[in-house]
Structure 1
């Protein structure tokens, strides 16, 4: 089954227009409450988008995988309402607001590429919202499937806490789901990583929700 995460947008020809940055694991790309200037393209790595609620609790809103945009809301140069944190060592390209407006005039195709990429990102967020209608197993399966389909090696560098935050499930519920799957040989775990041994099981489980 093809998910919205599997679409590829060819930014390679335009990366030379952005500024390359290497982001170490756990480093912030941008921080909630700071003024933004432009957006980022994730070339390599894995990034989580989090927000701090009124009760000062951190909540994961989204997981960004390579070939996706992040921070697009700061194109208007206002304050970020989320924080982007590298889950693993990552490479991003930054496009400033002023320069990007000039680039779109020089390269008309870039405007269309950007528009499609933003629409794609909105579909991902909608997918995240619709997750609330799924069972606990389907929520975890959907998240793991979307990430492992991108990396192809079926190694998920996320902790149980990350899975809990992204799915909206308690850590106990996530633990029970993963424990059952490990006993059945569907996944394996090692040092805060998940190894998907039977990816077809996840796909079939998610497919039941459509």
Structure 2
């Protein structure tokens, strides 16, 4: 879910305060436990936020779409508790704490909005803990619905491999799930673009019933 900080702020007027970076696909923008300073704004691309378990496996926390920010926890000089990885080639802007202070001079409302966003990101982190108890079908469904909500559209460019990378599942698993949903008329796939035709079918209890019938 996009926060007020990300939707109400005209970021194009503030990008000059940040440092532009190009990040290749599958490259980490920042890593868990590393010290950072400031936050990032995603201008282009797609980024997944993951956290490593004590067994060394990555668990999906969130998907970041253009127009959203990430890495806010280091604003208070704390290490990152997640890792941000570019799913697609990405363009990000890094805003240091000193650059943020300069931004506050022209947009003082940023301080309260930043606090709201941090609280919202923490809720996302707590919600992701529940994800580990979901089936593969439920994980893909939740991921698609979240991306649709962030894009404000039920059509978005994403390949099966990129969806598998986001969810941490194998491409074969994702292929089987999408194939069943396509045959049921829930989604369409048009030239590397997903179209969710019946989003209500990706929510329980409809999803549970559909899975039992087709998988």
1:70 alignment partner in structure 2 = 70
2:156 alignment partner in structure 1 = 154
C-alpha change, 1:131 and 1:80, in structure 2 (3 Å) is: closer
Match of 2:14, SS?
Answer: helix
Residues 15 and 93 of structure 2 are in contact (CA less than 8 Å); yes or no, is this contact kept in structure 1?
Answer: yes
Question: Aligned-residue CA RMSD in angstroms?
Answer: 3.3
Match of 1:40, SS?
Answer: strand
1:184 alignment partner in structure 2 = 184
Normalization by structure 2: what TM-score? 0.73
1:39 alignment partner in structure 2 = 39
1:82 alignment partner in structure 2 = 82
How many residues end up aligned between the 2 structures? 200
C-alpha change, 1:37 and 1:15, in structure 2 (3 Å) is: same
The answer as to 2:103 corresponding to 1:103 is yes
The answer as to 2:203 corresponding to 1:206 is yes
Offset, 1:65: 1.2
Normalization by structure 1: what TM-score? 0.74
Structure 2 Cα separation of the partners of residues 54 and 134 of structure 1: 19
What are the superposed Cα offsets for residues 90-136 of structure 1, whole Å, 9 maximum, x if unpaired?
22111112332343255312213323333343344454345568776
1:141 alignment partner in structure 2 = 141
What are the superposed Cα offsets for residues 34-81 of structure 1, whole Å, 9 maximum, x if unpaired?
221111111221101123332222222221112221111111333323
Offset, 1:137: 4.6
1:14 alignment partner in structure 2 = 14
Structure 2 Cα separation of the partners of residues 36 and 158 of structure 1: 32
List runs of 5+ in structure 1 lacking aligned partners. Answer: none
Moved more, 35-44 or 149-158: 149-158
Match of 1:108, SS?
Answer: coil
Residues 69 and 118 of structure 1 are in contact (CA less than 8 Å); yes or no, is this contact kept in structure 2?
Answer: no
Residues 148 and 155 of structure 1 are in contact (CA less than 8 Å); yes or no, is this contact kept in structure 2?
Answer: no
Match of 1:54, SS?
Answer: coil
Offset, 1:19: 1.6
C-alpha change, 1:41 and 1:78, in structure 2 (3 Å) is: same
Residues 145 and 203 of structure 1 are in contact (CA less than 8 Å); yes or no, is this contact kept in structure 2?
Answer: no
C-alpha change, 1:42 and 1:64, in structure 2 (3 Å) is: same
Moved more, 27-36 or 87-96: 27-36
